[in-house]
Amino acid sequence: MRIIVCVKQICQVYARSGMDPRSWFVAPEDKVYRVNPFDEAALQLAAKVKGALARTEIRLLTLGPLIAEAELRRGVAMAGADELIQLVSQTAPDPWAKSLILARAVKMIGADLVLCGKEALDTRHGQVGAFLARHLEVPFVSSIKNLEISPDGATAKVERSARKGVGEIWESPVPAVFSVDIGRDALPYPSNEAKKRAEALPLRIRSFSDEPVPLTTHLGIEPPRPRPIKIPAPDSSLPAFERVGQLFLGSRIEKKGLILSGTPESQVEGIVSFLRDHSLLK
Amino acid sequence: MFTAFDPLLIATALLIMVVGTRRRWSFWRKGRSENRPGDWKGLSGYLLFQKKILKGGWGGIAHMVLFWGVLIPLVVIVLAQFAFVMRPGPAHALAFILDLAGAAAMAGVLFFLVRRAARSFKTSGVSSEMPWPAALLFLILLSGFIAQGTRLNLVPAPFWTAPVGWLFSRVSPSSPLALQLAIRLHFFAVLGLFALLPFTSLRHVPAGALNVYYRRKGPRGVLRPVSFEKGPLGAKSTADLTWKQLLEAEACVSCGRCEQNCPAFLSGKKLSPRNLMGKIFKQLEAPESSLAGEAVSLEEIWSCTTCMACVAHCPLYIEPMDKVVDMRRYEILGKGAAPVEARPMLRDLELFGDVNGKGISRRTDWALNLGVPILSATSEQPQVLLWIGCSGAFHPKYRETARNMVKILKRAGVSFAILGGEEGCCGDPARRLGEESLFLDLARKNILRWQRHCFKKIVALCPHCFNTLKNEYPVVAEKMGTEARTEIEVVHASEFLLNIIEGKQITLKYPVKGQAAIHDPCYLGRANGIYAPLRKIVKAIPGLSLRELERSGEKGFCCGGGGGGMWLHETKGVHINGLRAAEIAGSGVGLVSTACPYCLTMLEDGLNALELERPIKVEDIIDIVSGSLG
Ligand code: SF4
Ligand code: SF4
């Protein structure tokens, strides 16, 4: 059985500690480049099938530039993947076009099962899997958490999460496309040997001469409203405009302040000396 | 007295001993190579005063008297074969000494026999080996005294030259035949003892001495590096251990001192450092059989807190802990079998560089609005670089401690700075869990970042950071080949605080009433031998008095948080922090002072779980000093 896992490399913005509104307060250190966690869950299920079913191979398919190659290779190690394929596309397509590119690649490689994350942490479209199934004209189940392939490799039993805590069990013939949600089991931990093998795995690059046409057009981004980590009361000596500005600037406002700790006596003394220092007390 | 056969007998016994010893030594000498300088002075001091052995209470004393009680007569009797002519005075004195030495050895042997018998009734886990050496020694001494008693009956000598012998003469026959018999028995038993030496726990005499000769010199808290080029990655079987590690197994006498102080064992986990050494010993002859995961179960491997109590208490300088770590390395690096509970933390370390997965952007949030200078490439060299650690940066309670440290430093007029986002996890949790490659990654990143900045001294809040930066980074830096900054001095916050208190840079004015106990963090105390600052600081706080816990100092009991314990679940037995909390609650103090974020959390949890009527506060020494700051 050949499983293709579609993996997206994402740039996860985990904080907004910058000062520049033009970059939406995202400083360079606020990003980590990694593999979409839902895709990691897909890799985990693929590895599970590989462990249970003899003669299973896993191919890892990624679309777009290598922004997180180290993490991608860690994913290879984690799943014990046999091949790593990068698809290069010139345009920045919409989910429809993306799924078309992926479908072409899948058809070319040939697969019994395609797994992908249920959505990407950065764009959150959650469409590619379903579109892909349509292009390939195979069944699709979304948000699966567990996967079992029958010994003859003809059907798959999947468990998907419906609403809170409710699981649904479905059976589907293969070939099929499943999108994967993060499950209960901890991700596999790659051994040193697996990591080494993954690092040595050659990267196969594929591109297509004719780019698919997107159905929709991406116009722009609405910046997030800055959410400060902690809003200290704005400095009251400043004019209102600047105070509001400070609040909007959000993440980091350096404001002089003193937090007293220690025994009550020492705190009282702290307050008194503060008042004295600011000539509020004679 | 000698018959013509005797030299032959002696030669046979010695031959058996030599051949047996050579066979045994061939096992441990097959271990992987390791560079260990020997130390004659250390060994002779060890044998002469037996300080380390004496720490074990009565057992230590019994060993001491037995050691000298056997050695002195042995030397005298060997010398006596050269037929010295002695005047009666010295001869009598010598007889007296021999008599006393024999009596001492007898007492020692009896102690060991009785203790052994008592233990085999109490616990099922004592070594299965029969106590042949002790029984033989007993026979030797008994026959010796009977011979002496019989001789005194035949040829009377002044009572004082052999008081114990005289006692035996009361119950001994007075016939030359009996004398001959007793002497023969004595002689054969001695030969037997020599011949048996390599085959019984007596092998600890040569192997133990050798192990002491090659013992570790530096601080205990440094783990053996892994060679990723040459391997092996951790220890799957005894074949992956170094000769020194195997020699330790050969030397272990199964005395159980390690186990009696092991928090994992005492809290009902399957791990016992004594059993562990026994298992390795059993596999010495079959180095290919599997150790990690088979002979030593996963439960044993993952319940160690790397507290080093076993290392500190072993009278033979055996270090059971490093074998546990080596097996962990095999589990993680070799098999990718990291414990499930610890995986998210390890992943956070990989992605974000801290154990909480908050990321470097949030690393200075604790210092918001405090005006803490962050070191940049252009800033002036501060007196000290404050190393906050993941806990200081992210743990809600320990952040307060970090702030208090800032307050103290400001009050003391010390120029300081932090690295801010340039500080990453030191790598201790990864390393103690066996994830050596992640540790190296984190350590190398930190070392490279250090090179961009100008500072000479690091003050670390957390003892784990302290130990890693101070003792382990130099080893990593050396291997990196960069001009690693070895001139950096690393001190722990408690040492630094004591310094500024003693230098009168701050005054401790406000009293803290009551009694404080001290919980010694393993990585400050046992790993680095730093015990005094905490005590001196507590005594310097007005109003506060110190009350030592039963298990403190070198004997201090782990909180359960080290070695990744913070992230692992204790599923068997009781919780380690619960044991410690109960001990603290029993001591009647109102405050426990420690100096480690893990201890702080673990003890607080443990004490809360006790639901005491009068809750006991747990505070870092920094918080206590800051509260009393004038
Ligand atoms: S390091 Fe501590 S927990 Fe581990 S075996 Fe030794 S005494 Fe036990
Ligand atoms: S390792 Fe040391 S302390 Fe533990 S049983 Fe062996 S000799 Fe005794």
Report ipTM for this prediction: 0.85
Lowest mean pLDDT among B160-174, B289-303, B447-461: B160-174
Domain boundaries for CATH 3.40.50 within chain B? 356-500, 503-628
- Whole-model pTM? 0.90
**HSE-CB for B574 with a 13 A CA cutoff:** 13
* Average of per-residue pLDDT across B44-54: 90
- SS3 call for B49: helix
pLDDT (tens digit, 9 = 90+) per residue, A16-43?
887 777 787 888 889 999 999 999 999 9
Please determine, for residue A246, whether its predicted confidence score (pLDDT) is greater than 70: no
pLDDT of residue B438: 96
Q: Which domains does chain A have, with CATH numbers?
A: 2-207 (3.40.50.620), 226-282 (no CATH)
Which tokens belong to B478?
Answer: 């050396």
pLDDT score recorded for residue B23 = 93
| Chain A residues in contact with B332 (beta carbon < 8 A) | 189, 191
Find all residues with CB under 8 Å of A278, minimum gap 6, and list them. Answer: none
- Quick: pLDDT tens for A65-86: 999 999 999 999 999 999 999 9
Chain A touched by B362 (CB under 8 Å): yes
What are the start-end ranges of the H helices in B156-272? Answer: 163-171, 176-196, 204-213, 243-251, 257-260, 263-266
Q: Is any atom of ligand 2 closer than 6 Å to the C-beta of B262?
A: no
Confidence band, pLDDT 50/70/90 cuts, at residue B476? very high
Helix (H) or strand (E) holding A275: helix A264-277
Is there an atom of ligand 2 within 6 Å of B255 CB? yes
Q: Given ligand 2 and candidates B63, B201, B252, which is best to mutate, with the most ligand atoms within 8 Å of its CB?
A: B252
Give the CATH fold of the B356-500 domain.
Rossmann fold (3.40.50)
CA distance B557 to chain A (A): 29
**ω into B232 cis (within 30 of 0):** yes
Is the CB–ligand 2 distance for residue B556 below 6 Å? no
User: Is residue B320 in contact with ligand 2, taking CB distance under 6 Å?
Assistant: yes
Separation CA B383–CA B447 (nearest Å): 19
**Of B55, B119, B254, which is best to mutate to test ligand 2, by the most ligand atoms within 8 angstroms of its C-beta?**
B254
What mean pLDDT do residues B215-232 have? 89
Q: What is the pLDDT of residues B181-213, one digit of tens each?
A: 999 999 999 999 999 999 988 899 999 999 999
In which residue ranges of chain B is CATH 1.10.1060.10 found?
230-334
Q: Which amino acid is at B424?
A: G
Give pLDDT tens digits for B312-349.
Answer: 999 999 999 999 999 999 999 999 999 999 999 999 99
Q: How far is the C-alpha of A248 from the C-alpha of A226, rounded, in Å?
A: 7
What's the rounded Cα separation, in Å, for the pair A114 and B356? 34
Say which ligand is closest to the CA of B59: 2
Alpha-carbon torsion angle B80, B81, B82, B88, nearest 10 = 30
Structure confidence at residue A254 as a pLDDT band (50, 70, 90)? low
Rounded CA-CA distance A73/A70 in Å is 5
Mean pLDDT of chain A: 88
Amino acid in position B200: T
Other C-beta atoms lying within 10 Å of the C-beta of residue B260: 16
Residue A127 scores a pLDDT above 50? yes
pLDDT for the residue B127: 56
The answer, yes or no, to whether residue B92 has pLDDT greater than 90, is: no
Looking at beta carbons, which residues of chain B come within 8 Å of A25? none
| B401 compared with B287, residue with greater pLDDT | B401
- Helices B40-49, B204-213: crossing angle, 10 deg rounding: 130
- Looking at residue A191, its pLDDT comes to 95
Task: Give the pLDDT of residue B2.
Answer: 60
How far apart CA B171 and CA A9 sit, in angstroms, is 91
Q: Which of B348, B288, B296 is nearest to B325 (CA)?
A: B296
Of the partner residues A32, A187, A229, the one whose CB lies closest to the CB of residue B343: A187
The mean per-residue pLDDT over the stretch B113-135 comes to 74
Q: What angle do CA A88, A92, A95 make, to 5 degrees?
A: 95
Report yes or no: A237 at the B interface, CB cutoff 8 Å.
no
Domain B230-334: which topology?
Answer: Fumarate Reductase Iron-sulfur Protein; Chain B, domain 2 (1.10.1060)
Q: Which residue has the higher pLDDT, A93 or A142?
A: A142
The protein residue whose alpha carbon is closest to atom 2 in ligand 1 is: B307
Q: Indicate if the pLDDT at residue B457 is higher than 90.
A: yes
If pLDDT is split at 50, 70 and 90, which confidence band does A212 have? confident
Give chain B positions within 8 Å (CB) of A252. 368
Size of interface A-B (CB pairs under 8 A): 89
pLDDT classification of B123: cutoffs 50, 70, 90? low
Ligand 1 neighbours, Cβ below 6 Å, are: B 262-264, 271, 273, 304-310, 320-321, 324
Mean pLDDT of chain B: 91
The reported pLDDT for the residue numbered B157 is 81
Nearest CA to ligand 1 atom 4: B304
CA dihedral A177, A180, A186, A190 (to 10 degrees): 50
What is the pLDDT, as a whole number, of residue A251?
42
Cα dihedral sign for B175, B177, B183, B189?
negative
pLDDT of residue A20: 78
Locate the chain B residue with the closest alpha carbon to A28.
B361
- Tell me which chain A residues have a C-beta less than 8 angstroms from the C-beta of B360: 29
Residue A112 predicted with pLDDT over 50:
yes
Which helix H or strand E contains B354, and what residues bound it? none
A247 touches chain B (CB under 8 A): no
Nearest ligand to residue B277 Cα: 2
Q: Touching check for B83 and chain A: CB below 8 Å? A: no
Of the pLDDT bands very low, low, confident and very high (cuts 50, 70, 90), residue B83 is low
Mean pLDDT, range B121-146, rounded to an integer? 78
Region B587-612: what's the mean pLDDT? 94
SS3 B390: helix
CB B463 within 8 A of CB B521: yes
pLDDT tier, B122 (very low <50, low <70, confident <90, very high otherwise): low
Structure tokens belonging to residue B316: 């033979």
Q: How far is A137 from chain B (nearest CA, A)?
A: 37
Out of A134-143, A224-233, A239-248, give the one with best mean pLDDT: A134-143
**Which CATH number fits the domain B503-628, given the four candidates 3.30.450, 3.30.310, 3.30.230, 3.40.50?**
3.40.50
pLDDT at B107 over 90: yes
